[in-house]
Structure 1
Amino acid sequence: MAVDPLIELRDVNKHFGELHVLRDISLTVGRGEVVVVIGPSGSGKSTLCRAINRLETIESGTILIDGEPLPDEGKDLARLRAEVGMVFQSFNLFAHKTVLANVSLAQVKVLGRERREADRRSRQLLDRVGLADQADKFPAQLSGGQQQRVAIAR
């Protein structure tokens, strides 16, 4: 079965000083495919994800998103980051904002959506992760798993 590649890494290498964190990594993630990266602490999982989002630079290799090289800087990179999300190990939810406000914020600030439309879309996303009934709560009122799902919806 042919894969419709969305993300491709070819011989990617990344060092932190003498530590060779990513060594000749090649990976293809097909459109609609779900991939899980597992390994011990310090094995490079987060570095790999950060490289795909261009939050880390690589020394060698190629990263393609939808067949195009990962943008270096500027508007193309900003456009890519507006379309791609990453949930970090600490979810970075705003404690003083409700769940709904946390999910809507980037839609208003980055995508330029009207608040009403952003809230409507946020409620749909919260429903998809099983948290529609938690929209008016604050992060501290949720379990860790619920907070992670809010971050995924965001």
Structure 2
Amino acid sequence: MAADPLIELRDVNKYYGELHVLQDIDLTVGKGEVVVVIGPSGSGKSTLCRAINRLETIRSGTILLDGRPLPDEGRELARLRADVGMVFQSFNLFAHKTVLQNVTLGQVKVRRTGKAKAEEKALALLDRVGVAGQADKYPAQLSGGQQQRVA
């Protein structure tokens, strides 16, 4: 078990009709830990991520974030979603905005962060994923892998 757990799944089950997609999932992810989930198409990877983000409901089990159950709805869930990022398989960047503009948009519009502070944070994040040098480019000027890292 990870020291100082951030995300904990305990006996999580998810069904689509009769199809049992997530079966008795137990997972603990510690703060600062990087976890990679791999598996064949249709094995439940995206469903697992969507359940953690409360974009999918689970039939049974418990999902804890920082020791507390995920909120079901309302403002508390909205606050959670404002702090949790998820890159979907079919990610979309705004084609008419630069990489930097795409990354700062949520910070400025949703979090009400000042432009300078948002750009500073965005550049640090872009550097972290190896695309800081692409900040002034548009999505069409990037490879698919670069676009996904920006997203």
Contact 2:12 2:25 (C-alpha < 8 Å) held by counterparts = yes
Structure 2: give runs of 5+ residues left out of the alignment: none
1:127 to partner: Cα distance: 1.9
Give the whole-Å Cα distance in 1 for the aligned partners of 2:77 and 2:2.
28
The one-letter amino acid paired with 2:114 is E
> 1:142-153 counterparts in 2 under 5 A?
142-151=142-151
Corresponding residue for residue 30 of structure 1? 30
Give the whole-Å Cα distance in 1 for the aligned partners of 2:2 and 2:130.
33
Secondary structure of the residue aligned to 2:51 is helix
1:83 to partner: Cα distance: 1.0
The one-letter amino acid paired with 2:101 is A
Corresponding residue for residue 18 of structure 1? 18
Corresponding residue for residue 8 of structure 1? 8
Displaced runs of 4+ in structure 1, greater than 2 A?
A: none
Structure 1: give runs of 5+ residues left out of the alignment: none
Q: Is the aligned partner of 1:60 residue 2:64?
A: no
The one-letter amino acid paired with 1:3 is A
> 1:103-122 counterparts in 2 under 5 A?
103-122=103-122
Q: Is the aligned partner of 1:135 residue 2:135?
A: yes
Deviations 1:79-99 (A, max 9, x none): 111111111112211111110
Change (3 A) 1:11 1:124: same
Aligned residues: 151
1:116 to partner: Cα distance: 2.5
Secondary structure of the residue aligned to 2:149 is helix
Contact 2:6 2:31 (C-alpha < 8 Å) held by counterparts = yes
Deviations 1:88-132 (A, max 9, x none): 112211111110110000001111112222122212221222222
> 1:84-123 counterparts in 2 under 5 A?
84-123=84-123
Secondary structure of the residue aligned to 1:88 is coil
TM-score (norm 2): 0.95
Secondary structure of the residue aligned to 1:81 is helix
Corresponding residue for residue 74 of structure 1? 74
Secondary structure of the residue aligned to 2:64 is strand
Give the whole-Å Cα distance in 2 for the aligned partners of 1:93 and 1:15.
31
Give the whole-Å Cα distance in 2 for the aligned partners of 1:126 and 1:38.
24
Give the whole-Å Cα distance in 1 for the aligned partners of 2:145 and 2:94.
16
